[in-house]
Amino acid sequence: MTTTDIHAPLVHAPIAALIVDAAGVVSFGNAAAATLLAEPDAGALRNSLFFVWFCEDDAETLRQMFDVFFKVPMETRGSWSRQMVLNGADGSCPTVTMTLAPVAGEGGERAVVYLRNMTREITAERRFSQMFETLPLGVVVVDGKGRIAQANAMLSSQFGWKVEQLIGQPLDMLLPQRYRAEHGAHIAAYAAAPVARVMGTDRDLNGLHRHGREFPVEIALTRFESSAQPLYMAIVSDISHRKRSERALQQTNAQLEEFTYVASHDLRSPLRGIADLVTWIQEDLEGTDLPDDVVHNFERITQRIERSEQMIDDLLSYARAGVRDSRMQRIDPHELVEEALELTAIPEGFEVDVDVQGGDIVAPRAPLSTSLRNLLSNAVKHHGGTQGHVRISMREEGRFAIFTVEDDGQGISPENEDRIFKLFHRASPKTDGDGVGLAFTRRMINAHGGMVTVQGRGSLGGASFEVHWPRILLRENEDDD
Which one of 214, 238, 262 terminates a domain? 238
Q: How far is CA 64 from the centre of its chain?
A: 56
Residues 459 and 349 in one domain: yes
pLDDT > 90: what percent of the chain?
Answer: 27
Answer yes or no: is 126 within a domain: no
Torsion angles phi and psi, residue 313, rounded to 5: -60, -40
Identify the helix (H) or strand (E) that includes residue 388: strand 388-397
> Strand, coil or helix: what is 428?
coil
Residues 295 and 340 in one domain: no
Confidence (pLDDT) at 168 = 93
- Confidence label for 479 from pLDDT (cuts 50, 70 and 90): very low
Residues 161 and 33 in one domain: no
Which of 64, 35, 70 lies closest to 51, judged by CA?
A: 64
> Strand, coil or helix: what is 262?
helix
Confidence (pLDDT) at 393 = 95
What is the average per-residue pLDDT within 449-464? 91
Residue type, 262: V
For residues 78 and 347, which has the higher predicted lDDT (pLDDT)? 347
Confidence (pLDDT) at 311 = 65
Which of 448, 459, 441 lies closest to 375, judged by CA?
A: 441
Identify the helix (H) or strand (E) that includes residue 148: strand 148-151
Task: Kindly report which listed range (47-61, 154-168, 304-318) carries the lowest average pLDDT score.
Answer: 304-318
CATH code (residue 107): 3.30.450.20
Answer yes or no: is 150 within a domain: yes
Residues 234 and 98 in one domain: no
* Residues 62-77: tens digit of each pLDDT: 999 899 888 888 777 7
CATH code (residue 407): 3.30.565.10
Confidence (pLDDT) at 417 = 81
Q: Kindly tell me the burial class for residue 461, based on how many C-beta atoms sit within 10 Å of its own C-beta (0-12, 13-18, 19 or more).
A: middle
Answer yes or no: is 125 within a domain: no
Residue type, 60: E
Residues 225 and 335 in one domain: no
**Considering its fold, how many domains does the chain have in total?**
4
Instruction: State how far the alpha carbon of 461 is from the alpha carbons of 107, 285, 349, 353, 380, in Å.
Output: 92, 53, 18, 15, 14
Answer yes or no: is 287 within a domain: yes
Calpha distance 343→370 (Å, rounded): 10
pLDDT at 429 over 70: no
Residues 438 and 388 in one domain: yes
Which of 253, 139, 161 lies closest to 208, judged by CA?
A: 161
Answer yes or no: is 274 within a domain: yes
Residues 105 and 143 in one domain: no
Confidence (pLDDT) at 388 = 93
pLDDT at 180 over 50: yes
Task: Kindly report which listed range (73-82, 179-188, 389-398, 446-455) carries the lowest average pLDDT score.
Answer: 179-188
Q: Which residues contact 235 (CB under 8 A, 6 or more apart)?
A: 135, 137, 138, 139, 219, 220
Confidence (pLDDT) at 204 = 66
Confidence (pLDDT) at 5 = 63
> Strand, coil or helix: what is 96?
strand
Answer yes or no: is 127 within a domain: no
Answer yes or no: is 129 within a domain: no
- Confidence label for 33 from pLDDT (cuts 50, 70 and 90): very high
Question: Over 317-347, what HEC string results?
Answer: HHHHCCCCCCCEEEECHHHHHHHHHHCCCCC
pLDDT > 70: what percent of the chain?
Answer: 83
Residues 364 and 280 in one domain: no
Identify the helix (H) or strand (E) that includes residue 155: helix 153-159
Calpha distance 156→145 (Å, rounded): 21
Calpha distance 182→193 (Å, rounded): 17
Task: Kindly report which listed range (63-67, 100-104, 189-193, 394-398) carries the lowest average pLDDT score.
Answer: 189-193
Answer yes or no: is 352 within a domain: yes
Which one of 191, 211, 238 terminates a domain? 238
> How many CB atoms neighbour CB 312 within 10 A?
17
Which of 383, 469, 378 lies closest to 421, judged by CA?
A: 378
Residues 344 and 453 in one domain: yes
What is the average per-residue pLDDT within 97-108? 76
Confidence (pLDDT) at 197 = 58
Which one of 88, 118, 148 terminates a domain? 118
Calpha distance 419→438 (Å, rounded): 10
> Which pTM was predicted?
0.45
Residues 447 and 421 in one domain: yes
* Mean pLDDT score of the chain: 83
Instruction: State how far the alpha carbon of 96 is from the alpha carbons of 85, 99, 116, in Å.
Output: 6, 10, 5
Calpha distance 247→52 (Å, rounded): 69
Residue type, 70: F
Range(s) of the domain holding residue 393: 328-477
- Confidence label for 478 from pLDDT (cuts 50, 70 and 90): very low
Residues 165 and 263 in one domain: no
For residues 332 and 415, which has the higher predicted lDDT (pLDDT)? 332
* Residues 255-314: tens digit of each pLDDT: 766 666 666 667 777 888 888 888 898 888 888 888 888 888 888 888 888 877 766 776
Residues 339 and 410 in one domain: yes
